[in-house]
Chains A and B, each alone.
Chain A
Amino acid sequence: MAADSPVRASSGGSPARGGLIDRLTFAALVLGVLLTAIDVVWTFTLAPMVQGAELSEPAIIGGTQVTTKLLLSQKIFYLHVPVAVASFVVMFFAALWAVRFLMTKDRAFDLRSKTAMEVTLAFIVATMISGDLWTRFEWGVWWVWEPRLTTYFILMLLVIGYFILRNALDDPERRARFCAVFCVVAFIDAPISFMITRLVPSSIHPVVFRTDSGLPPMMLIPFLLGLFGMLFIAFALTRLALRINADAQEVEDLKERLEEQDAWKSRAAADAAFERLRAGAREAVAADEAPARADSPDASTTGAATGAAADGAGVSTTAHAEVAPADSESPDTHLDSSQEA
């Protein structure tokens, strides 16, 4: 009855089950995996290898002149860049949902924003792993404070900071608000950070810029396949995570409400028991007072004594009566709050 409505309200905010979008999720996942698989196969078979350093002397191999070494390490690019792009796209949606949360105060958007941030983190870690292996091989170091690496690292720190902030706040309403604010700030900060390290050369170490522009079609096609594949996978992963997170949150809510109800019920039981005690005490006092009144006309000394005793009982009952309303108020307020919710 009254308890049902909040449940329905909260599940109404979570993504629809079994609808068109769910079937789309599955299709996107299949399509994404398929495209990425084609990308990987294409990368290692059809795509030409990039020319690296000069050979000591040019040579003729298979009728064509070869002057440079071939670079296998560039193959990382075909999946690395799509994953990085996907991380940006998902983070954009996280910020978008954060803004919508701030506008509507609908907890469903907070859940979406959080989920998108999780997916962002997964993609960022994937990008970092693959990028760092490339750095290690090409530049011979595990880490350089190069603009692209630095800014991406900052982006990762921002996303990690978001989750640390989430864990540090207990009140769900405030957590949602603060995290949405930080999500927006982080999303504004990321492009600024990219822009600044790109435009301001670090004065001490010259930066080696490597551009991979003007891709031939045999390299562009697998790259685009990978890009769309990864975007589809990101979409599917976000939807999947969203469903799981929405379920988890709903179960948490239900558990909390059940516990609350239990606490309320036990308090109501205690109040009922107390009410019975009070009624018993009132009867006892009434029984005490009746003989005292009957005595009073003839024996004044004994009457004073029983009067004092009755007074004592009266004090105790009034004390109870004072305590009782304060106590019995709480179930009422609980009732109110549950109805409001």
Chain B
Amino acid sequence: MDPILAEVYSTVLPAAPFVIAAYVGIWIALFAYVFVLSRRAKRTREDIDALREALKSREDRLKE
């Protein structure tokens, strides 16, 4: 490779991992939050099921 071209691009290659990591890092941070949210939504759904269950058993008891 031409030495001058090599010098022109001398910082490009070492910088690449950092640039890629930065772009990936941003998305990882945002997706981490989305993951937390999805877990929270899942727990809420489970809670709703538990509530429904509780309500049903209560109604059954009332019928007896």
Contacts and interface: CB of A to CB of B under 8 A. Distances in A.
Interface of A: 40, 49, 52-53, 55-57, 59, 61, 66, 68-73, 75-76, 79-80, 83, 118-119, 121-123, 125-127, 129-130, 133-134, 136-137, 233, 237, 240-241, 244-245, 247-248, 251-252, 254-255, 258
B9 A70 contact: yes
A31 to B, nearest CB: 16
Contacts of B9: 69-70
Given A61-B4, A129-B25, A237-B33, A72 B43 contact: no
Given A80-B22, A255-B51, A70 B11 contact: yes
A244 B31 CA distance: 15
A123 B30 CA distance: 7
B26 A130 contact: yes
Interface of B: 4-5, 7-12, 14-16, 18-19, 21-23, 25-30, 32-34, 37, 40-41, 43-44, 47-48, 51, 54
Contacts, number: 115
Given A76-B23, A245-B40, 5 more contacts: A126-B27, A133-B25, A136-B18, A244-B44, A251-B51
Contacts of A72: 11-12, 15-16, 19
B51 A55 contact: no
A32 to B, nearest CB: 11
A49 B15 CA distance: 12
A76 B22 contact: yes
A254 B47 CA distance: 10
Contacts of B43: 248
A244 B21 CA distance: 30
A240 B37 contact: yes
